[in-house]
Amino acid sequence: MKTKHVWFALSALAIAGCSQNEITEISPEANPEVGFSVFTGTQTKGTITDNTGTTGIQTTGFGVLAYYTGTDDFGSGSHASPTPNFMWNQKVEYKSSAWSYTPLKYWPNTAGEKISFFAYAPYADTQSAASSSNGIELTAATATGYPKITFHWNTTTPSAGVDLVATNAAQTGGDKTINLTKQTAAVPFKFKHVLSRANFWAKLDGSVKDSETKVFIKGVKLLGTSIEAPSAANNSSKFYTKATYKWEDGTWDYTGGTLQAAAVELDGDILNKANPNFGSGSAYTTSSVAVTATAASMFKANQYLFLIPPAVNGIAASTDIRILLTYDVVTLDTKLDGGKSVIEAKSVVSLPNETLKGGSAYKYV
């Protein structure tokens, strides 16, 4: 893996995929009088990161779509093109140490009749992406076939990004959620992370040899397809800000997606900027991230980028995902007016191949 030298070393390391998928269960409770089961819930075994470090799935809740297909399997027979006729974007909330929702639904009492479930989080209270607070847009209640999620990445406030998770539409095994018949056992919702998590770190690489010179990162941009100095047009960019997650196979569909044109600047809510006081008199005080010999995150605590994977296997070319760094090299010199020299520099860096796969977290240093 090549190292880019821009006064500090810039490299990339893919760390293990997200340590644990979030698991939640909806547990039917027997009702002998009518022979149905009522969905209740137990505590989730994990939380979803939404960049606050405190808010998780128990606060946001999750949404459920469910399809009743009689004795047919999902997508076959007279239900070759089913609609979510049992639940559509049903919000399930964590209250009084239990999951609950309303109106309650009941298992069909006829032997062999089936229901298929799809779940996602965090919950989106609207189908319209224009008014959705987290960029999640579901297929309509009248849509046929497998449901889909069209995800709109927040280009205005990247720090408001969410860690989208969804069930894997398992049809066999203990995670099965498709073609279920009446049961008293729990219906398992095993969520998986479908976006790619990234964090940027920085350190000096030895080029700065004395305490009179320091490096300060003033800005970080994710480059799109448009020209952004000192870069050229990047028509082969794979920086998607809109794509569709397919529940049936857990992949992303980029047809009808949006490739970001203008560069997106990471805001002060995500970058760990401070106002340094380097030097005396007319000291350098530009809001920035100070770079030292020890690697440190450029992001604030609990802040990450959750990006749409550029392809199934992540980044495949140097032009897929690129960032633009703007930084100042500041040298103290009492002979100069103001007591210092400030040289602004820019560098375009490509994130390395085979990173930014869905469901994995990456640390770029």
The string of pLDDT tens digits covering residues 159-175 is 888 889 888 887 777 67
Question: 173 and 215: one domain?
Answer: no
Give me the domain span that covers residue 308. 4-15+202-364
Question: 24 and 153: one domain?
Answer: yes
Question: 8 and 24: one domain?
Answer: no
Question: 211 and 335: one domain?
Answer: yes
**Burial category of 268 from C-beta neighbours within 10 Å (exposed 0-12, middle 13-18, buried 19 and up):** exposed
- Nearest by Cα to 267 from 207, 221, 325: 221
- Nearest by Cα to 295 from 16, 17, 11, 51: 11
Question: 224 and 305: one domain?
Answer: yes
Is the pLDDT reported for residue 254 higher than 90?
Answer: yes
Contact 161, 154 (CB under 8 A): yes
Question: 214 and 161: one domain?
Answer: no
Domain boundary among 166, 196, 226: 196
Question: 276 and 185: one domain?
Answer: no
Number of domains in the chain: 2
Question: 37 and 177: one domain?
Answer: yes
The string of pLDDT tens digits covering residues 10-63 is 343 333 445 445 555 544 444 311 112 222 232 333 456 555 445 677 778 889
Q: Is the peptide bond before 122 cis (omega within 30 degrees of 0)?
A: yes
Tokens of 332: 């103290």
- Indicate the helix (H) or strand (E) that contains 111: none
Question: 152 and 245: one domain?
Answer: no
Report pLDDT for 68.
Answer: 94
Domain boundary among 196, 230, 248: 196
Report pLDDT for 215.
Answer: 95
Report pLDDT for 138.
Answer: 93
Amino acid in the structure at residue 122: P
Question: 61 and 164: one domain?
Answer: yes
Domain boundary among 196, 224, 258: 196
Question: 211 and 323: one domain?
Answer: yes
Q: Are strands 305-307 and 12-17 parallel, antiparallel or unpaired?
A: unpaired
Question: 10 and 93: one domain?
Answer: no
